[in-house]
Amino acid sequence: MICVTIACGSHSRMTAEHERLAEEGVKLVELRLDFLRREPDLNRLIPVRPTATVITARRQQDGGLWRDTEEKRLTLLRSAIASQPEFVDLELDIADQIPPFGKTRRIISYHNTETMPVNLEGLHREMSAKKPYFIKIAVTPQSFEEMYQFLNFVRQKNEEAKKLGEKGVRVIGICMGEMGKAARILSKKFTMPYTYATFSEDRIIAPGMMVYKELLDLYDYENIDQETVVFGIIGNPIGHSLSPLVHNRAFLEQNVNAVYVPFQIADTDVADFIRLAPEFGLHGISVTIPHKVDVISHLTKADPAVEKIGACNTVVFRRDERVGYNTDYIAAITGIEVACGGNIVDEESVLKNKKALVLGSGGAGKALAYGLVQRGAMVTVTDVDPERAVELAKHLGSEYVLWDMRESMHVDILVNCTPLGMYPNVNETPYSKSSLRTSMLVFDAIYNPEHTLLIKSAQDKGCKVVTGVEMFVGQACYQFKLFTGQKASASKMRILLKEAIVRMNRG
């Protein structure tokens, strides 16, 4: 279940949002009285409530907005219990001052907006002694390992509670911060009774809180269960990624009981994440910036392409193995070959002996340059950092050219793997329109926007083009096959991705 938090400044707005959520099928709502600009009027909020309700008035020290005295807050909470909503949320330190009353159930809560308590066992014991209906512990993990330990602790306590039957007290565990989004999505996997979400993107009142529609529509939250297989993506930052959209929709269409979750992982956390991922329940991950290189040293096995490119964008966990792949280069090269009139079953690639210039020598540049070399193209690489270009050229046995000389070359294939032209800097381009030739094929790894200034210029010149959308969709399809053994629909992924890019740029 999802408890949707309503945090509005007026009673009328709070009531209107509550009614709207009830119409949309929401079963449980939290009313945050500390957000009201006027003194809370319980008679306007509780007697005619359209759903089960949690009443909360959070102090500023616990991440709330309560501006009045503590005495008035305690009086308000006592009055709330007397009004008999389904739940009232009480912090651990005030629980003894507001005893149970009537049918209202008490949620005893603890909030730590800075770190994670050292003694979780002692905290749980103290909270259990207050005779709660639910225990709610909200913490701020500083690492993936801390989050992993916390969620395992919550699962252990909930399994113990289940064995006790009606005497057991279940725990709602919340991880705050961007890292905590994964914990909210997977709360049912860790046997929590419900998780919290906000009703609007404009009302995200805690770090890492998600919009309930996102949980329902993107992650199919209500259908996650103990058997759901978990996949994910790691990066830093990760909020911009559209991979959860295409993978989760593919799971749904293929009737695969799986969910694909974003994990924001710091550079210092990569080793622990890869080590703990199988224990966490992960079966495979996508890897994006800046971790494509760092993960390699933590693999037990790697596809030859990973070793040659020096970048990994996919890891599959099999028993005790952590196997790395690079699906970026396969997707991009396949797209380029098809655009050049080739066929992937041909023994000899249409790219053989073609002159190709690769702009950029980062992860994508390495992948594209490697793929082109593998197909027999004559590759030259360039980068604003000449040392990186030289290093990549030597590694692949290709040529390099200084960045300022890139437009003096006559090439058949131009590949952009720089961020120049990426949203929101859509008026930038890594290659001038005047230097493009009609006979060129132009590939741009950027997918937002799909039609970068470089792609538009190439189309104006009559060049063949391959956009970053094709690379994104292709690599996602290859990943899906590695993850599930099944084939995803590239056409449906393509439509989803394009629609999502339009929505992002409008918003």
- Strand 321-325 vs strand 301-302: parallel, antiparallel, or unpaired? parallel
Helices 468-484, 243-253: crossing angle, 10 deg rounding = 50
Question: What's the pLDDT tens digit per position in 439-467?
Answer: 999 999 999 999 999 999 999 999 999 99
**CATH code for position 289:** 3.40.50.10860
How crowded is residue 487: how many other Cβ atoms within 10 Å of its Cβ? 11
Same domain assignment for residues 426 and 455: yes
Q: Active-site residue 451, yes or no? A: no
Give me 104's structure tokens: 């209202």
Q: What is the largest CA-CA distance in the chain?
A: 83
Residues 79 and 100 grouped into a single domain: yes
Burial, 227: exposed, middle or buried (Cβ in 10 Å; 0-12, 13-18, 19+)? exposed
Query: Tokens 């990943």 label which residue?
Result: 479
Same domain, 259 and 188: no
Which among 398, 406, 218, 188 is positioned nearest to 308, based on CA atoms?
398
Per-residue pLDDT averaged across 42-57, rounded? 96
Q: What would the mean pLDDT of 115-124 be, rounded to a whole number?
A: 95
Q: Residue 163 falls within a domain, yes or no?
A: no
Question: What is d(CA 507, CA 501) in angstroms, rounded to the nearest whole number?
Answer: 10
Residues 79, 180 within the same domain = yes
**Beta strand 441-444 pairing with 229-235:** unpaired
* Whether residues 498 and 426 fall in one domain: no
Give the lowest-confidence range in 205-219, 343-357, 360-374. Answer: 343-357
Establish if 231 belongs to a structural domain: no
Angstrom CA distances, 102 to 17, 30, 105, 129, 172, stand at 27, 19, 8, 19, 23
Tell me the mean pLDDT in the region 113-126: 94
- 345 shares its domain with 412: yes
| Confidence band for 388, pLDDT divided at 50, 70 and 90 | very high
Active-site residue identified among 111, 291, 298, 308: 111
Is 451 a member of any domain?
yes
Active-site residue, 136 included: yes
Q: pLDDT tens, 223-252?
A: 999 999 999 999 998 888 999 999 999 999
Element (H, E) at 82: helix 70-82
Say if CB 399 and CB 341 are below 8 A apart: no
Residue carrying the six token digits 């859509």: 426
466's enclosing H/E stretch is: strand 464-466
Instruction: Respond yes or no: is residue 111 known to be catalytic.
Output: yes
Q: How many domains does one find in the chain? A: 3
- Is residue 239 domain-resident? no
Say if residue 309 is in the same domain as residue 354: no
Cβ atoms of 289 and 363 closer than 8 Å = yes
441 and 480 share a domain? no
pLDDT band at 489 (very low <50, low <70, confident <90, very high): very high
Residue 345 has what pLDDT? Answer: 60
| Amino acid 413: pLDDT | 98
How far apart CA 227 and CA 23 sit, in angstroms, is 30
In which domain, by residue range, is 451 found?
A: 341-466
Strands (DSSP E) along 321-377, which ranges? Answer: 321-325, 355-359
C-alpha to C-alpha distance for 422 and 420, rounded to whole angstroms: 6
Question: Is residue 180 situated within a structural domain?
Answer: yes
292 an active-site residue? yes
Confidence of residue 188 (pLDDT cuts 50, 70, 90): very high
Residues 194 and 321 in one domain: no
Helix intervals (H) in 219-326: 243-253, 270-280, 304-309
- By C-alpha distance, which of 413, 302, 299, 301 is closest to 353? 413
Residue-wise pLDDT tens digits, 84-104: 999 999 999 999 999 999 999
73 & 198 share domain? yes
280: tokens are: 């966490």
CB within 8 A of 197, min separation 6: which ones? Answer: 2, 3, 4, 5, 184, 209, 210, 211, 212, 214, 215
Residue type, 445: A
Same domain, yes or no: 214 and 271: no
Catalytic residue among 292, 298, 308, 354: 292
CB 358 within 8 Å of CB 369: yes
Choose, from 34, 89, 294, 328, the residue flagged as catalytic.
328
CATH of the domain at 212: 3.20.20.70
Which positions ≥6 away from 203 have C-beta within 8 Å? 5, 6, 7, 8
CA distances from 469 to 125, 140, 338, 342, 452 (A): 52, 36, 15, 19, 11
pLDDT of res. 492: 94
Q: Which helix (H) or strand (E) holds 370?
A: helix 363-374
CA distances from 63 to 38, 98, 137, 181, 320 (A): 19, 21, 13, 17, 41
Q: Are residues 399 and 258 in the same domain?
A: no
58 contacts 80 by C-beta, under 8 angstroms: no
